[in-house]
Amino acid sequence: MSEVETLIIGAGPAGMAAAMELSKVNKKILIIEKQKSVGGLAKTLTFEEEGATFFSDIGPHRFFSQNKYLYDFIENLIHDKWIKVNRLTRQYIGGKFYDYPINAAQALKNIGMKKAFRIFLDYLFAQIVYKILRKKIKNFKDYVIANFGRSLAELNMINYTEKVWGIECSKIHPDWAKQRIKSLTLISALKSIFTKGKDPRSMVDQFYYPEDGTHLIYKTIEEKIIQKGNEVLTESYPTKIKHDGKLITEVIINTRGKEESFKPKYLVESITMKNFVNLLEPSAPDCVLEAIKTLKYRSQVYLFITLDKESITKDQWIYFPEKEIPFGRVSEMKNFSKKMSPDGKTSLFVEFFCFEGDKTWNMDKESLFELALNHFERLGFFTRKEVRNYYLIKQKNVYPIYDLDYQKNLELIKAYLNKFENLFFIGRPGRFKYNNQDHSLEMGILAARSIIDEKKYDIESVGSEIEYYEKGDLNVSNKQKVSFNWMVLEDRDET
Ligand SMILES: Cc1cc2nc3c(=O)[nH]c(=O)nc-3n(C[C@H](O)[C@H](O)[C@H](O)COP(=O)(O)OP(=O)(O)OC[C@H]3O[C@@H](n4cnc5c(N)ncnc54)[C@H](O)[C@@H]3O)c2cc1C
């Protein structure tokens, strides 16, 4: 059995951030990654074609954070390859495009005065029901109706959410809304239109993007940690995780068919919670095993279409909330960075939401393409003749599903895992939390700082900023708004 100071399982943003932070202070690490390359869901795929190479992330990867530490962390890695992009994103509803974030004048023109008045009346009605009569918010549907009124909620939020999650909004926990659209209401959205650039919630939007694709961050970390004498084992995964009830004592790893045993002083892992718990030996208690069975994920299949065409639109991505359209979002990678497509050509990354094993998941490449092509031709995006090639990509366990029971089951599992003193379970899969890159990076950095400082910082509180917005401009004051909160676990106010 080989001794290793810190074993990191999973080389997505969370695992790689932990690795980087540890290697900066010359701590020894070993990284294990199941796939052939690092980056996790934030990797960039390469498509080599005759005379042309295309690159694509797995869907849009806009970096945004309220944490200045993270901006510095990435800037120190990729320097001037971190480019600023002017955001242009839209939604397609009822045969019309709407700017996203909303442009009031355009939205009014699209929906007409009658419908706008209806939206306003519905909003007032929701205020009476939820604020004055204090109707309880029990699920996501209640949450969006309470904050936006029924008409607006039905126009884009309920449709899109049900498409993404594959379950009715009345069965989705309101946590989902709290994590993603907290503090945003119809009134705050309207207000921000008139305070462009002055408010951190500004709808004037820019974001940073690594010019060679989002994986540049994680590839650079890989290079740096290898330079320091550390190892990254790809196509490698754990087959057994042994423990004595207090500590993780041994991890058996399979790397391309060869088994090896490691005794880690610390284990940092970001693989799916279900996978991790099921590898434990002795087994977790029955109640934990029962709880883990209830955690569900939504998966995705993607079409990546390469085109003999200069450009489709100017948008980085467009949402398609309506259920009649089979895909949910498309991204034109060239509009993130020119380097993603060769000159004179472009591409489209198309996302379909599904459950592993369902009809969409099992569709072959040709059928999926035919299903989508009709819509793209109708929208005027491209014609069959302009298509060079198309590729099918499948990704399991993309979205942890926040159903109405998830919280109590998750708490039970986390309480059990927290008993292991040398274990740090982090990241989107590791904590069953719908993280963006920023929160996974924060979790990795906190795990590393806990090891370096020999005290456990509070990973649970990552993502619970009072104001976390999907939107925001990148003026300096905004970047500096929130600094890293090194909260020690024992100091946390549990009330
Ligand atoms: C379509 C889409 C759009 C997105 N858009 C954005 C965006 O605009 N902005 C943004 O910031 N974020 C975005 N994200 C989210 C971002 O990709 C994730 O937040 C981030 O990748 C999570 O990092 P992680 O390390 O927590 O998990 P992951 O990226 O899931 O990494 C986990 C790693 O563990 C590995 N692994 C799993 N099981 C094992 C095993 N048994 N053994 C060894 N290794 C294993 C995986 O292969 C993977 O490399 C998007 C994600 C998707 C899918």
- Ligand 1 atom nearest 395 alpha carbon: 53
Distance CA 191, CA 131 (A): 20
C-alpha dihedral, 381 to 386 to 388 to 392, nearest 10°: 30
Ligand 1 within 6 A of CB of 459: no
- Ligand 1 atom nearest 302 alpha carbon: 1
Extract the tokens encoding 446.
Answer: 């906190």
- Give the per-residue pLDDT at 345: 98
The DSSP annotation for 208-245 comes to EEETT-THHHHHHHHHHHHHTT-EEEESEEEEEEEE-S
Q: Of 149, 183, 144, whose CA–CA distance to 160 is shortest?
A: 144
Distance CA 467, CA 363 (A): 40
CA angle 9, 11, 16 (to 5 degrees): 105
CA angle 88, 98, 335 (to 5 degrees): 20
- Ligand 1 atom nearest 329 alpha carbon: 1
CATH topology of domain 84-89+296-400: Polyamine Oxidase; Chain A, domain 2 (3.90.660)
Spans of all domains in the chain = 2-37+67-77+209-295+404-491, 84-89+296-400, 102-204
* Pairing mode, strands 29-33 and 2-9: parallel
Distance CA 426, CA 272 (A): 10
Distance CA 383, CA 308 (A): 10
Distance CA 111, CA 373 (A): 27
Separation of 135 CA from ligand 1 center, angstroms?
37
Distance CA 163, CA 95 (A): 18
- Ligand 1 pocket: which of 30, 67, 270 to mutate (most atoms <8 Å of CB)? 270
Distance CA 353, CA 337 (A): 25
- Give the per-residue pLDDT at 198: 46
CATH class of the region 2-37+67-77+209-295+404-491:
alpha beta
Extract the tokens encoding 83.
Answer: 């480019």
Ligand 1 within 6 A of CB of 11: yes
- Give the per-residue pLDDT at 109: 86
C-alpha dihedral, 212 to 72 to 41 to 222, nearest 10°: 70
Ligand 1 within 6 A of CB of 440: yes
- Locate tokens 């819509």: which residue? 375
CA angle 284, 12, 218 (to 5 degrees): 155
Separation of 15 CA from ligand 1 center, angstroms?
10
Contact 243, 280 (CB under 8 A): yes
2-37+67-77+209-295+404-491 and 84-89+296-400 agree in CATH topology: no
Distance CA 104, CA 110 (A): 10
Phi, psi of 438 (to 5 degrees): -60, -45
Is 466 strand, coil or helix? coil
Nearest CA to ligand 1 atom 20: 437
Distance CA 128, CA 476 (A): 40
- Give the per-residue pLDDT at 290: 97
Ligand 1 within 6 A of CB of 19: no
Ligand 1 within 6 A of CB of 351: yes
Ligand 1 within 6 A of CB of 149: no
Say how many C-beta atoms besides its own lie within 10 A of residue 431's C-beta: 25
Per-residue pLDDT of the chain (495 residues; tens, 9 = 90+): 899 999 999 999 999 999 999 999 999 999 999 999 999 999 999 999 999 999 999 999 999 888 889 999 999 999 999 999 999 999 999 999 998 877 777 888 888 889 889 988 999 999 999 989 999 999 999 998 998 899 888 887 898 889 999 999 999 988 877 766 655 666 666 665 555 544 433 334 789 999 999 999 999 999 999 999 999 999 999 999 999 999 999 999 999 999 999 999 999 999 999 999 999 999 999 999 999 999 999 999 999 999 999 999 999 999 999 999 999 999 999 999 999 999 999 999 999 999 999 999 999 999 999 999 999 999 999 999 999 999 999 999 999 999 999 999 999 999 999 999 999 999 999 999 999 999 999 999 999 999 999 988 989 988 876 443 433 344 433 333 345 555 544 433 333
Ligand 1 within 6 A of CB of 35: yes
Separation of 213 CA from ligand 1 center, angstroms?
15
- Ligand 1 pocket: which of 320, 436, 438, 471 to mutate (most atoms <8 Å of CB)? 436
Is 98 strand, coil or helix? strand
- Ligand 1 atom nearest 426 alpha carbon: 26
